[in-house]
Amino acid sequence: MDFRLTEEQQAYRDSLRDFVDREIVPVAREWEHAGRYPTEIVEHLRQMGLFGLTVPAEYGGLDVDAVSFALTFEEISRGWMGIAGVIGTHSLSAWMIARHGTDDQKRRYLPELASGELRTGIGLTEPEAGSDLQGISTRAVRDGDHYVVSGTKTWITNARHAGMLPVLVKTDPAAEPRHRGMSVLLVDTASDGFTVSRDIPKLGYKGPESCEVVLDRVRVPSDALLGGVEGRGMQQALSALETGRVNVAARSVGVAQAAYDAASGYARQREAFGRPIGDFQAIQLKLADLATELQAARLMTYWAAAKLDRGERADTESSMAKLFSSEVALRASLEAMRIHGGYGYSQEFEVERLYRDAPLMAIGEGTNEILRTVIARSLQHGGLPGP
Ligand SMILES: Cc1cc2nc3c(=O)[nH]c(=O)nc-3n(C[C@H](O)[C@H](O)[C@H](O)COP(=O)(O)OP(=O)(O)OC[C@H]3O[C@@H](n4cnc5c(N)ncnc54)[C@H](O)[C@@H]3O)c2cc1C
């Protein structure tokens, strides 16, 4: 096995690293605390083609390999995890349309999604159903050549900027098993009855908005049914989450790296009892643990991504990478804060943002409890995944 990035991947990572250090790191703390939308950064992302990460080249996208996809979210999250959210669910939905959409849907949406002219997110979660997506109650009732859609979605990131939103609905609530009655509709957010009803106040992950969305008898043309066939929505959404979990694992690596950088820099500079605190073995051991876990999380994330690049299924691998890396990010952000002593608790240092951002990675794209059940099931059926 060779754990080195290719020259192309290294060059891609280096250019992103420069961009993040130049455009994101200097403003992250101030803009995040001000609750300011990162408009200028989003424009840079657009110019760099990053809205087209998962869009095939024939539709104008970058169509990056999965390892480069991971590098993108890692590097951006090292600067400010919220910025990764702007292109996170957008990339997931673009991937889903590229993989499952009809030719018409691909032609209609992918070029504008790639350029960032059209923005999107994903509408799965409801107030009464998150992990148990088969328990959603948003209904789509066929009426001639339209569906009439009613229901409420919540925690929808990028909802205020989305021109089109893939929404998971029930087309046949009586179906057994329940997932056979579920479909994804590509809903035009300018439709009558589509309302972004409120922004949810949140602990971290500031930058992109996360909103409640109400659909009140929204008329959606039947050709907006993803893939053109009812009953495939759950499978379409779950297949996209495989890529989504690599995304969240990579964000976790970025946050853990930022925590390590902040902690090791501070340990060199802060003095106590007449010497830098990094001279104390208690601090050195913490940094050694941080660095070791960070490296393990990074390798596991690249491993899951590399499996996707080989065209293999990676639901177990991406679940393991997301579970492990997000727990590493949580521990790293807490330890970095402790190494900063009282200053770690101050909003004048970066580590308090890392501490607020890290928990999301244990929740999004499948909570870590759910992922443990996914991993356990796959162990029962196929045993441990190979290298
Ligand atoms: C900042 C943020 C942004 C988000 N963005 C989006 C978005 O853009 N689009 C979208 O659709 N959703 C989004 N979500 C929603 C997210 O995907 C859900 O919050 C997540 O899937 C968990 O669902 P839930 O909140 O309903 O928790 P629940 O499903 O109610 O879970 C509550 C607790 O019970 C545990 N639990 C539930 N079932 C089981 C089980 N079978 N076994 C063991 N434990 C279980 C969970 O792990 C959790 O600890 C976002 C959430 C946040 C916080």
Residue 187 shares a structural domain with residue 109? no
Residue with CA nearest ligand 1 atom 48: 367
Closest by Cα among 285, 207, 299 to 253: 299
Q: 41: domain CATH number?
A: 1.10.540.10
Count of C-beta atoms within a 10 Å radius of residue 135: 12
Residue 243 shares a structural domain with residue 223? no
DSSP-derived 3-state class of residue 154: strand
Residue 75 shares a structural domain with residue 97? yes
Residue with CA nearest ligand 1 atom 2: 155
Q: Residue 221 is part of which domain span?
A: 133-231
Give the distance (Å) from ligand 1 centre to CA of residue 320. 17
Q: Is residue 1 part of a domain?
A: no
Q: Is residue 126 part of a domain?
A: no
Residue with CA nearest ligand 1 atom 42: 370
Give the distance (Å) from ligand 1 centre to CA of residue 373. 14
Residue 148 shares a structural domain with residue 17? no
C-beta pairs of 338-342 under 8 Å, 24+ apart in sequence: 338/286, 339/263, 339/266, 339/267, 339/277, 339/283, 339/286, 339/287, 340/262, 340/263, 340/266, 340/270, 341/270
Pocket residue to mutate for ligand 1, from 131, 165, 215, most atoms within 8 A of Cβ: 131
Please report the pLDDT score of residue 383 as a whole number. Answer: 83
Q: Is 365 a catalytic residue?
A: yes
Please report the pLDDT score of residue 242 as a whole number. Answer: 84
Residue 162 shares a structural domain with residue 46? no
Residue 149 shares a structural domain with residue 241? no
Please report the pLDDT score of residue 287 as a whole number. Answer: 98
Pick the atom of ligand 1 nearest to 369's CA: 47
The single residue of 43, 293, 365, 369 carrying the catalytic annotation is 365
The pTM (predicted TM-score) of the whole model is: 0.97
Tell me the CA distances in angstroms from 58 to 62, 112, 352, one per residue in order.
10, 13, 43
In b/e form, how buried is each residue of 100-113, taking b as 16+ CB within 10 angstroms? bbeeebbebbbbbb
Residue 17 shares a structural domain with residue 105? yes
- 209 membership: H or E segment, kind and range: none
Q: 342: domain CATH number?
A: 1.20.140.10
Q: Are 66 and 243 in contact (CB under 8 A)?
A: yes
Give the distance (Å) from ligand 1 centre to CA of residue 364. 6
Give the distance (Å) from ligand 1 centre to CA of residue 372. 14
Residue 225 shares a structural domain with residue 244? no
Residue 152 shares a structural domain with residue 210? yes
Closest by Cα among 124, 77, 62, 133 to 301: 77
Q: Is residue 128 part of a domain?
A: no
Residue 192 shares a structural domain with residue 146? yes
Q: Which of 184, 207, 231 is the last residue of a domain?
A: 231
Please report the pLDDT score of residue 382 as a whole number. Answer: 84
Residue with CA nearest ligand 1 atom 31: 131
Q: Which of 115, 149, 172 is the last residue of a domain?
A: 115
Residue 225 shares a structural domain with residue 240? no
Q: Is residue 332 part of a domain?
A: yes
Q: Are 335 and 343 in contact (CB under 8 A)?
A: no
**Domains contained in the chain, number:** 3
Tell me the CA distances in angstroms from 253 to 122, 248, 293, one per residue in order.
23, 9, 10
CA dihedral 189, 191, 197, 200 (to 10 degrees): -10
Pick the atom of ligand 1 nearest to 368's CA: 47
Computed on alpha carbons and rounded to an integer, the radius of gyration of the chain in Å comes to: 21
DSSP-derived 3-state class of residue 203: coil
Q: Is residue 168 part of a domain?
A: yes
Q: Which two tokens stand for residue 44?
A: 């840079």
* Terminal CA-CA length for the chain: 9
Give the distance (Å) from ligand 1 centre to CA of residue 387. 30
- 349 membership: H or E segment, kind and range: none
Residue 272 shares a structural domain with residue 331? yes
Closest by Cα among 241, 251, 180, 204 to 371: 241
Parts of the chain with a pLDDT under 50:
none
Phi, psi of 350 (to 5 degrees): -70, -30
Please report the pLDDT score of residue 251 as a whole number. Answer: 98
What is the CB < 6 Å shell around ligand 1? 89, 121-125, 130-131, 155-157, 202, 205, 210, 360, 363-364, 367, 369-370, 373
Please report the pLDDT score of residue 384 as a whole number. Answer: 87
Distance CA 283, CA 63 (A): 42
Distance CA 76, CA 28 (A): 11
Pick the atom of ligand 1 nearest to 88's CA: 8
Q: Which of 210, 231, 252 is the last residue of a domain?
A: 231
